[in-house]
Structure 1
Amino acid sequence: MDFKAGTSLDITLSRSIESSSASQIVRSAGFEPSVLSVGGNGQNRVSMRFDHVLDPSGKDSAKIVSAFVATYGNDVSKEENTVDPGIARELALQALYAVGLASLGILLYVSIRFEWRFALAAIVALLHDAFFVVSVFSVFKLEVNLPFVAAMLTIIGYSINDTVVIFDRIRENMRFARARTFEDLVEIVNRSVNQTLGRSINTVIAVLFASLALLFWGSESIRMFSLAMSIGLIVGMYSSICIASQVWLIMKNRSLHRRFNREQKTSDGLYPLPVLPISYEDEED
């Protein structure tokens, strides 16, 4: 709703309600929400999202509340939030700018701190993290809002931090090893990942405890943030260990091949040609 415009309406009842019953009550009032869910500690909170903006004067939401009052009594409260289409477009653009600038800043930092191959590998891993989390939310049709964008930026931060630690260990091991073949590079990457594996897992588990606690015992307003964080932390750890360093390995191997080919040139800058046996016919005839 933050990016499409519309109205969100949260109704709290005095007792629990089922999702099917809540949908039927809302339809009896003459409205069809795009999303309706039931939550809260006692399953007494009905959350609705409308793709269109309800009457700003509150007449539409009053009809819905009256329908619930007729069934569940007067102990009914509501919370209504509306996002204007112009504000929604601005929020969407600002979200794209935030993610784009964060990725660009990471690309520049890693390029200066390490090399461009490390930077490109880190961005590939970050794109993988973002794509995976967005795909999960798309498949299960979960709400994407501003807290979700905040979660994505936090995931990017944790993922790049873990990736940089592994890259730094690879760079240190490269100083004491003379890598001339692909097998040498593989051995360096494997050793570096093994040396930082415990740190990567322990860091993610420590943050995951807090994220899962917010997911299961936190308020409804930050539940999607906590869910995105929990998924992103696990995926970010996986991408740092199993994707980023491997992408760098492939690019570095190509660089070794090009350097090896240059070293095989002769002094005049030409590649040596193989000696071909040539036979001449006898010209005495």
Structure 2
Amino acid sequence: MRFDTNIRYDFIGNRKKFFAFSIILVAVGILSLLIFRLNLGIDFKAGTTMDTATDHAVEQQEVISILKELGYSEIPTVGGANNDRISVRFGEELASEKIREIQTAFKAEFGEGSSFEVNVVSADMARELAIKTIWAILAASVLIMLYVMIRFEWRFALSANIAILYDCFVVVAVFSMFRLEVDLPFIAAVLTTLGYSINDKIVIFDRIRENLRFSSTKNDKQLTELVNASIWQTMARNLYTVLTVMIVTVFIFLFGSESIRLFSLAILIGLISGAYSTVCIASSLWYEFKKREKKKPASAAKQPTV
């Protein structure tokens, strides 16, 4: 069966190039994690975060000077539209006396109207949170795989799960390579990546299943044409969906506050990786699984009967 779809690029025919690129990227990510590990934020390691809202703009150097006078060497990040919000992260659990000492110094410098929000994470709490995060990602992956198996078949489910785990790993690897901070919003971004990524893959898999229903694929060439046609038939829809979310995410990254900037960056990386893996990995993996299935009956038929 011939498809009317204009196949502008043979994704399946070039699948080995995409597989090689993806494997290299995964290898680089693993090396980065082994060498540099993750730059864990206060949510995943013991420490104290103090967020201070002031009545006027504050320069970062002012905050550093106050902390140095108090005997601290921590360099805080100053964010907010008018630099009126100070975020100081300490790599240790500060006692109540130390916290009050810093607050008193800040009020004396920035005004009595300054308000504070303090979060203290113990070592046990950080360890428990890290374990629960890993279980959350694994549970989401397993449930997604079961859903796709029920709706489609195991080949679709396995292809989709490999691709979405690849997307999540890409986000983690990029944050590791560039030493970006990993905190709770980052985990939310990874789980969001899972959702958007599986949505794109379901769209293409649904079209592949529909095309299979109304056509017969007797050889690899016909199967290649079917998958390529399915990709291009859904290309516009997937691109519009991804671009719509990406535009919003880029604006949040550029104009949002410091507290959500890395969150939006993680989602942006996940969206790009998800769009790539949907077309170049998930569909190609399904093609490989299906091709092997078609070869089994043929090889069995060649065996002489006794």
State whether TM-score is above 0.5: yes
Which residue does 2:43 correspond to in 1? Answer: 2
Q: Distance in 2 between matches of 1:63 and 1:138?
A: 35
Question: Contact 2:253 / 2:261 at 8 angstroms: preserved in 1?
Answer: yes
2:57 corresponds to 1:15? yes
Question: Contact 2:45 / 2:127 at 8 angstroms: preserved in 1?
Answer: yes
Which residue does 1:30 correspond to in 2? Answer: 71
**1:223 partner amino acid:** R
Tell me the matched-pair count: 264
**Percent identity among equivalent residues?**
46
| TM-score normalised per structure 2 | 0.77
Which structure has more relative contact order (CA 8 Å, sep 6+)? It is 2
Unpaired runs of at least 5, structure 2: 1-41
The structure 2 residue matched to 1:87, chosen from 114, 122, 125, is: 125
Which residue does 1:203 correspond to in 2? Answer: 241
2:138 corresponds to 1:138? no
Question: Contact 1:28 / 1:67 at 8 angstroms: preserved in 2?
Answer: no
Unpaired runs of at least 5, structure 1: 269-285
Q: Give the alignment of 1:1-285 within 5 angstroms.
A: 1-13=42-54, 14-18=56-60, 22-33=63-74, 36-55=76-95, 57=96, 59-65=97-103, 68=106, 76-268=114-306
The farther-off stretch of 79-88 and 115-124 is: 79-88
Cα displacement (A) at 1:126: 0.8
Q: Distance in 2 between matches of 1:74 and 1:128?
A: 50
Residues 111-143 of structure 1: CA deviation (Å, up to 9, x unaligned): 222221111111111111111111222223222
**1:5 partner amino acid:** A
Q: Distance in 2 between matches of 1:72 and 1:160?
A: 48
Question: Contact 2:47 / 2:89 at 8 angstroms: preserved in 1?
Answer: yes
Q: Distance in 2 between matches of 1:127 and 1:238?
A: 13
Question: Contact 1:16 / 1:43 at 8 angstroms: preserved in 2?
Answer: yes
Distance 1:139 1:9, change over 3 A: farther
Question: Contact 2:81 / 2:257 at 8 angstroms: preserved in 1?
Answer: no
The farther-off stretch of 7-16 and 243-252 is: 7-16
**1:51 partner amino acid:** G
Q: Distance in 1 between matches of 2:176 and 2:88?
A: 18
**2:289 partner amino acid:** M
Cα displacement (A) at 1:110: 1.3
Q: Distance in 2 between matches of 1:25 and 1:186?
A: 66
RMSD: 2.4
Question: Contact 1:6 / 1:54 at 8 angstroms: preserved in 2?
Answer: yes
Distance 1:113 1:28, change over 3 A: same
**1:197 partner amino acid:** M
Distance 1:23 1:261, change over 3 A: farther
